[in-house]
A and B are shown apart, each in its own frame.
Chain A
Amino acid sequence: MLQQSIALIFIAIFIWRLFTQRKKQTINNNEFIFWLAFWLIGALAIIFIRLLDKLLITAGFSGSGINFLLYLAVITLFYLIFKLRLKISKLEKSLTDLVRELALK
C-alpha cells in the first residue's frame, strides 16, 4: 500500500509538471496528450495492481503485475530513446543544410 502511494505521488507530480508545461506552452498538444495518457494508464495499473496480477496469471505469465509494469517501462524507454535518436539525426540534417546554405551564399 505504501509503495503504491509513493508511486502515485510521483505520478501526480509528473502530471502536475505536464500541466504547468502546457500552461507555459513548452509542450505541444500531441505530446501533452501522449504523456497524460501514459501517466494515467500507469496510475490505473498501480491502483489496480492486484487485478493486473490476476489478469497476468490468467494469461499464463509467471511474473507479478509489478514485474510486468517494469518490463513494459523498459521497453517503452528503449522505444523512446530510439525515436529520440531518429529525431536528433533529422535535426542534425537540418543544421547541416543551414550551415551549407550559409557557406554557399
Chain B
Amino acid sequence: MKIACVIPAYNEDRYLNTVIAKVKAFVDFIIVVDDGSDKRASELAQKAGAFVLRHIINRGQGAALQTGSDYALQLGADIIVHFDADDQFAAAEIPDIIAPIIKGEADIVFGSRFLGKESNLPWIKKYLIWPLGRLINRFFGVHTSDPQSGFRAYTKEVAESFRIENDRMAHCSEILIKLGRGRWRFKEVPITVTYHEYGQKFSGGIRILKDLFIQKINQ
C-alpha cells in the first residue's frame, strides 16, 4: 500500500525541515503544499525530499489539504495522511493512524488529543475552548472526541468521494460532517500533541462557526 503524507505549510520555515525528516520514515511520499509562503519554504521542502506544490496566493489550510490530496491521488496513493507543518504531531504515531485502515477496520481515522495520551494542551483550550467547540460541533452532527484535530488518514476511495469546500480552518468540522453522513467507517485513535505555539485562538473558533454557517446557506 502506498502512503502519502500531505503537509500544508504557510510560512512554516522553522519546523518544516524537521517535520519532513521525521515523517519520511513512515510514508512513501511527502507532499508539501506551500500555501503562498515566501519562496524559502518551497525550496526547503524540495531540498528535504518532498514533492512541493505551490499556491501562488494564500488560500487557507483546507484548500491546501485538498490540493495535496488531489496530487496524492495522481501519484497513486492508497492512503492519505494529513499532518501539520508546525511539528506539533508525532510522526511516530503515523503507523497508529493508518493501522485501522491497513487492517480493514476503518476507511478514515482521526487522531484525538482526548483519548488518554498526555498532550501539553493550554489550560484555556482544554477546559473552555474545546468543550465549547465540541458542543457547537454536535449541533452540526459531529460526535467525535476531537473535532478540530488535523491529524487524520483516509483511503483513496474516501478521498475520491468528497472535496474539502471550506478553505480555512472550518475544514476539520466539514470533513467530520461529510464523512459522518457517508457510508464510511471511521475510528479515532489517541495522539500526542506538543504545542510550540498557542495555535488557534477563540476568534478562530468564531470564524470557523461563521464559515460553517455560510457553507450551509450556500448549499
Query: Which residues from chain A sit less than 8 Å from chain B, CB to CB?
Result: 85-86, 89-90, 92-93, 95-96, 99-100, 102-104
Closest Cβ–Cβ distance, residue A20 to chain B (whole Å) = 33
Q: Which residues of A contact B161 (CB under 8 A)?
A: none
Q: Is the CB of B57 within 8 A of A99?
A: yes
Which residue on chain B has the smallest CB distance to residue A89? B214
Query: For chain A, what secondary structure do more than half of its interface residues adopt (helix, strand, loop), or is it mixed?
Result: helix
| A89/B55 contact (C-beta < 8 A), A96-B167, A99-B63, A103-B33 known | no
Q: Is the CB of A86 within 8 A of B55?
A: no
Task: Give Cα A33–Cα B176 distance, bound, in whole angstroms.
Answer: 44
Q: Is the CB of B218 within 8 A of A99?
A: no
Pick the contact of A103: B53, B60, B165, B214 (CB < 8 A). Answer: B53
Pick the contact of A100: B67, B74, B217 (CB < 8 A). Answer: B67
Which residue on chain A has the smallest CB distance to residue B33? A103
B186 at the interface (CB under 8 A from A): no
The 5 closest A-B pairs by CB, nearest first: A103-B53, A100-B67, A96-B63, A96-B59, A99-B55
Interface centre among A86, A100, A104 (most CB of B within 10 A): A100
| A93/B53 contact (C-beta < 8 A), A100-B63, A104-B67 known | no
B112 at the interface (CB under 8 A from A): no
B173 at the interface (CB under 8 A from A): no
Q: Is the CB of B53 within 8 A of A104?
A: yes
Q: A99-B57, A100-B63 are in contact. List 20 more A-B contacts (CB 8 A).
A: A86-B214, A86-B217, A89-B218, A90-B218, A92-B167, A95-B57, A96-B59, A96-B63, A96-B167, A99-B55, A99-B59, A99-B63, A100-B66, A102-B56, A103-B33, A103-B54, A103-B55, A103-B67, A104-B67, A104-B74
B12 at the interface (CB under 8 A from A): no
Task: Give Cα A89–Cα B60 distance, bound, in whole angstroms.
Answer: 14
12 contacts across the A-B interface (CB closer than 8 A): A89-B214, A93-B167, A95-B57, A99-B55, A99-B59, A100-B59, A100-B66, A100-B67, A103-B54, A103-B56, A103-B67, A104-B74
Interface centre among B63, B66, B214, B217 (most CB of A within 10 A): B63
Interface string of B47-69 (1 = CB under 8 A from A): 00000011111011001001100
Q: Is the CB of B214 within 8 A of A99?
A: no
Closest Cβ–Cβ distance, residue B3 to chain A (whole Å) = 20
Task: Give Cα A103–Cα B63 distance, bound, in whole angstroms.
Answer: 11
Closest Cβ–Cβ distance, residue A102 to chain B (whole Å) = 6
Task: Give Cα A3–Cα B73 distance, bound, in whole angstroms.
Answer: 66
Interface centre among A93, A102, A103 (most CB of B within 10 A): A103
Pick the contact of A104: B70, B167, B214 (CB < 8 A). Answer: B70
Pick the contact of A85: B59, B71, B74, B214 (CB < 8 A). Answer: B214
| A99/B56 contact (C-beta < 8 A), A86-B218, A89-B218 known | yes
Q: Which residues of A contact B54 (CB under 8 A)?
A: 103
Q: Is the CB of B70 within 8 A of A100?
A: yes
